Structure 1
């Protein structure tokens, strides 16, 4: 029986712990809120994040990180992007050179200021002799649906084929299917940037726009995600896969998405501070918008939708005004390789 530590007792961490437990693995779940961990151990529930869901008694909760990491073969990080560096530093300090677990992360975002991807942060903070590979777990998945055993397909991406196949093996079952991928850059950027578009999609619905507008935003948003990703060496095929268009669709069209819900409330006129205060969970798309906007400015990459959402979130621009500005931008061909002129469109 494989022993696995899941670090992060939120909705996604808990749902993934359920999958691993059902697959026969020994699962330790770690969190920094004692009352949440006590509930997991005593009642076998996590009502704040997954109401009405019963957890297996074999999922054991810990607030002591050292105890949670003892003798594990895999460490799954499901903490907010802002906590990745500090938690990884702690892991590095606690592991000895003999344990060498595979490090998996299922978080989706970019680090503020540095704009670094999560696997880069982990690689910087984890001594190479203390792990057996870093794997990104990402794709179209709502924790609420995984907890109900709804059919889900995601990607395990790593530069190590052995590590990605090991992750594929421990997670896969009859309702949770994992594909492997070697494009870590594309998978991570697709996972992070789709949250920006989800905020925008929610805002459109909040304003009262329908399916035409939503389809336009998702499609052109995917073009922006691909543009930035390819500038950093991502495989363009990744963005038409599970961690690209798949993740974008599920996040930008569902009330399960906290990014969509935040955007929806912004579109209805609520202030961002109030929305974030009442959400009860981290809305990664807000911080990611800032990081992606700054990165695009720094690299000279055209991302008009990201820039528009940045203005709404951080410059108090009105959603209806930025939508009109986007619609009145200079006319152009859909694809940069097209030979059509603006007059021919």
Structure 2
């Protein structure tokens, strides 16, 4: 029968097959599979039944490859094996190198989530599902830090039983999460994967993790970083899901940047049109993950364009960084290399950590754009809630959103010009899409609308509606205004300034159209 390999080779049948001849045949056929050849056609396929012969010989075209003759002596068999290896050396070498590369990743990434509110618990659910499906990359267990508190199981919970000891008095939240696999306080009614482990000790939560996911109210991030500094793996990497910015009169820092600087690790950002309860119910949406990996982590050239197909390229030439990352303000940050025993933390593997059929991920490099979009839209959503509460309709909300998007872009270009890309705001979920969602149904929008409808302050609505959680729009509005005032740029951002003035009582929501009117028109 004629076989298809590197060149046409013919096997003549014999009456008696020795074990050495069968072994040689197996070696040859196994090696020939490495060649990408089309299936044999009718012309070059011939059955051995058509050409019976008492001998058994492997031959090749003399002008193209050496002649290999099967034999029973050990010396001849050894020469035949060496000859076959020389014939197929390029393919064999590549295969050996690939297998060695796979074997080098002897360790898996452990992932932890710092935070357990409704958004933190939702992200933990997403990650826990993905690590189980990518066991070659990630450890199956996900540690989730939970601020310990006593919680009474609600009477409308499926777990409530008036006769149960569990329901007669408040229980520790960590015990409820680990026992019921549900966060009955912050994400009630959602079944959590059993590989989520609630942990009340934040240091114990992060100590073995190579990937830290930060997802908690930004008011507490400074204290948490102080607690875990020096107690985490020095080569760990992080993702911030915190929608806010750390602002003072001296400057404006992204939480991804401030966390990274405090802990000495690289931190990316996740943000998008993501209402936590909808994602927990597995309703389809998109998100944006910004991760500009140090070159030593990816171990291969960073693509010119992001894997998601986003139309802009990398924010930095990572080939020249040599173990450093570029912060959103354009500064270099020295990092400890991720050990080679771990799979690389490149865009592909970060996407595997977050992407679900109901939670689609687009990867970009612009950490500043993703972070600012997630923070500043909360300020805009307050204004949208006020005008909607006044009954001004969708046209008014659209006007607020248009001005808000322009001020987000202006802010990024003014203070993060080295890495910020305006396309991140205009084309990604973290920008225009998040603005639409936040100004239509987000918590900042809803609380602002209620304050108008009920004639109450934002703080009163927040305390009643958010179950102990805090609005990020109000605190961000105050911080951004303080920063802009220190820069002498209040008039350059009329909407941000108007929101602050309404919160302070200097103006009424009805004044917003006049407050955001350009002065030069």
TM superposition score category, shorter chain reference: 0.7 to 0.9
- Once the two structures are superposed, what CA deviation does each residue of 1:189-214 show, in whole Å capped at 9, x if it has no partner? 11100000111111111111101101
Q: 1:326 to 1:169 in 2, by over 3 A?
A: same
Moved more, 193-202 or 266-275: 266-275
1:39 matched to 2:228: no
SS at match of 1:94: coil
1:167 matched to 2:350: yes
Whether the 8 Å CA contact 2:385–2:447 is kept in 1: the answer is yes
Q: Which residue of 1 is the match for residue 44 of structure 2?
A: none
Q: Following TM superposition, by how much is the alpha carbon of 1:57 offset from its aligned partner in structure 2, in angstroms?
A: 1.7
Aligned equivalents of 2:274, 2:499: Cα separation in 1:
24
Deviating above 4 A after TM superposition, structure 1's stretches of 4 or more consecutive aligned residues are none
Q: Which residue of 2 is the match for residue 66 of structure 1?
A: 203
SS at match of 1:93: coil
Q: Which residue of 1 is the match for residue 411 of structure 2?
A: 228
Q: With structure 2 as the length reference, what TM-score do the two structures score?
A: 0.59
SS at match of 1:186: helix
Q: Which residue of 1 is the match for residue 85 of structure 2?
A: none
Q: Which residue of 1 is the match for residue 143 of structure 2?
A: 28
Aligned equivalents of 1:306, 1:168: Cα separation in 2:
33
Aligned equivalents of 1:67, 1:176: Cα separation in 2:
29
Aligned equivalents of 2:206, 2:410: Cα separation in 1:
39
- Cα root mean square deviation, aligned: 1.9
1:248 matched to 2:435: yes
Q: Which residue of 2 is the match for residue 209 of structure 1?
A: 392
Aligned equivalents of 1:125, 1:328: Cα separation in 2:
41
1:313 matched to 2:503: yes
- Structure 2 residue runs of 5 or longer lacking an equivalent are 1-107, 133-139, 150-171, 299-344
Q: Following TM superposition, by how much is the alpha carbon of 1:324 offset from its aligned partner in structure 2, in angstroms?
A: 4.5
Q: Following TM superposition, by how much is the alpha carbon of 1:92 offset from its aligned partner in structure 2, in angstroms?
A: 1.9
SS at match of 1:116: strand
Aligned equivalents of 1:135, 1:330: Cα separation in 2:
38
1:87 matched to 2:224: yes
Q: 1:172 to 1:41 in 2, by over 3 A?
A: same
More helix by share: 1
1:271 matched to 2:457: yes
Paired residue for 1:13, among 120, 124, 130? 120
Q: Which residue of 1 is the match for residue 322 of structure 2?
A: none
Moved more, 115-124 or 306-315: 115-124
Aligned residue-pair number? 323
Moved more, 233-242 or 296-305: 296-305
- Once the two structures are superposed, what CA deviation does each residue of 1:19-67 show, in whole Å capped at 9, x if it has no partner? 1111114211112124322221121111322221111222110101122
Whether the 8 Å CA contact 1:112–1:287 is kept in 2: the answer is no
Q: 1:314 to 1:167 in 2, by over 3 A?
A: farther
Whether the 8 Å CA contact 1:196–1:286 is kept in 2: the answer is yes
Paired residue for 2:187, among 50, 73, 96? 50
Whether the 8 Å CA contact 1:251–1:259 is kept in 2: the answer is yes
Q: Which residue of 2 is the match for residue 338 of structure 1?
A: none
Q: With structure 1 as the length reference, what TM-score do the two structures score?
A: 0.88
Whether the 8 Å CA contact 1:289–1:309 is kept in 2: the answer is yes
Whose relative contact order is higher, 1 or 2, with alpha carbons under 8 Å and at least 6 apart? 1
SS at match of 1:227: helix
Paired residue for 1:119, among 256, 261, 286? 256
Q: 1:249 to 1:311 in 2, by over 3 A?
A: same
Aligned equivalents of 1:144, 1:199: Cα separation in 2:
20
Aligned equivalents of 1:155, 1:144: Cα separation in 2:
18
Whether the 8 Å CA contact 1:164–1:180 is kept in 2: the answer is no
Q: 1:328 to 1:103 in 2, by over 3 A?
A: closer
SS at match of 1:111: strand
Whether the 8 Å CA contact 2:257–2:267 is kept in 1: the answer is no
Q: Which residue of 2 is the match for residue 335 of structure 1?
A: none
Q: Which residue of 1 is the match for residue 424 of structure 2?
A: 238
Q: Which residue of 2 is the match for residue 292 of structure 1?
A: 480
Q: Following TM superposition, by how much is the alpha carbon of 1:11 offset from its aligned partner in structure 2, in angstroms?
A: 0.6
Q: Which residue of 2 is the match for residue 337 of structure 1?
A: none
Q: 1:121 to 1:72 in 2, by over 3 A?
A: same
